């Protein structure tokens, strides 16, 4: 099995990048969702 280490490294790093990107989107989305709820509460109180 020639160069097995390199291919594992490539797949690992590649999918690592995708995974980190997805995580960043998921975190930002949940933060913003919380912000939406908070603001909705503010608007409801104001009315």
Work out how close the CB of 34 gets to another protein at its nearest, in angstroms, rounded to a whole number.
10
DSSP calls for 1-47? -TTHHHHHHHHHHHHHHHHHHHHHHHHHHHHHHHHHHHHHHHHHHH-
Query: By CB under 8 A, what part of segment 23-42 binds another protein?
Result: 25-26, 28-29, 32-33, 35-36, 39-40, 42
| Rg from Cα positions in the chain | 20
Residues within the interface to another protein (CB under 8 A): 1-4, 6-7, 9-11, 13-14, 17-18, 21-22, 25-26, 28-29, 32-33, 35-36, 39-40, 42-43, 45-47
């Amino acid at each position: 099995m020639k160069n097995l280490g390199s291919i594992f490294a490539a797949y690992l790093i590649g999918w690592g990048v995708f995974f980190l990107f997805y995580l960043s989107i998921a975190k930002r989305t949940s933060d913003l969702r919380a912000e939406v709820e908070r603001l909705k509460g503010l608007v409801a109180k104001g009315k």
